[in-house]
Amino acid sequence: MTEISGKKFISPGAWFSLYYPINWHEFEDMEGSFLFYDPVDWTGNFRISAFKKDESFRDAMRYGSEAVKKELKENAAATLVTIGKHQCAYSQENFQEKEIEYTSHIWVFGQENVSFECSFTVPKGKAADKAKQIISTVEIRKDGVKYPAETIPVRIAEISLIDESYRWTTELVKATLKKDFQGAEEDLPKLQSVIDNGNINTKKRDAWNAIGITLCVIIANEIEGMEWVTLIDGNREAPVLCYKNEQQIDPMKLVWSKVKAGEICDVVEAYKNVIANL
């Protein structure tokens, strides 16, 4: 596999992976589509959408190749090209926006029961080499295969979860104590007070994970060198903190794992233990 010297992306649900340039980032897009580009030195928008057919269908393993055949048949402008190991139906569309002309390069390809549609939108006349590099790294992750746990740059999906968890916890503290919550170390006793009040059912995993994520938000706010990443480990896809690209701090282990085991959840003590072990 040809790898770009950059970042790895694994899709939600772990259908597929790819590599994209180190100075690019993922941005929010439509459901089922993933958008990447360089926000500083913009050279084009790369978008990839994936479609998966249930393996229980008799023709499922031909779904990817049939998608290419269908595109070649229905799109008179499409031609067959090879990028890496992928046979792609390629076409392009030109359009104008705010007096600037653009070209959208479009590739349809697939393998087994997964098909992809990729587009790379650039100013008209600009090359599509970066998109081809990315496409050449696309790999399908097979169902039922146990892949090694790994971390990747934090995805939009996990950024949304972090934001939602912090917002939920903030509202809970304000509603319970009638006090502000700023996401700082001084807020930990407030968070502990809410926990001690017994307002959170011990069986509500999502709520306790939200507390754990909020605790990690406070840690990230207080300690320089912390960075959110996405952990992919079997069926688990979750945000974790990484300290100076080495030590991992898992929100689930800080809070939910203790609650599930019937142990006392002490966020102040958990915070101190994290700091002591850095």
Per residue of the chain (278 residues), what is the pLDDT tens digit?
344 568 999 999 999 999 999 999 999 998 889 999 999 999 999 999 999 998 889 889 999 999 999 999 999 999 999 999 999 999 999 999 989 999 999 999 999 999 999 999 999 999 999 999 999 999 999 888 999 999 999 999 999 999 999 999 999 999 999 999 999 999 999 999 999 998 899 999 999 999 999 999 999 999 999 999 999 999 999 999 999 988 999 999 999 999 999 999 999 999 999 999 98
Strands (E), the chain: 6-10, 16-21, 25-27, 33-37, 45-52, 79-83, 86-97, 100-111, 114-123, 139-140, 150-153, 226-233, 236-243, 247-249
pTM of the model: 0.92
Which tokens belong to 155?
């995805």
Name the residue among 227, 184, 239, 245 with its Cα closest to residue 253. Answer: 239
Residue 47: what are its φ and ψ, rounded to 5°?
A: -125, 135
Quickly count: other Cβ atoms within 10 Å of residue 78's Cβ: 20
Name the residue among 117, 30, 106 with its Cα closest to residue 67. Answer: 117
Where do the H-state alpha helices sit in 29-155? Answer: 63-74, 129-136
Contact 152, 10 (CB under 8 A): yes
Strands (E), 200-276: 226-233, 236-243, 247-249
Report all structural domains of the chain as residue ranges with CATH numbers, in order of start: 6-145 (3.40.1000.10), 152-276 (1.20.120.1090)
Name the residue among 186, 188, 169 with its Cα closest to residue 268. Answer: 188
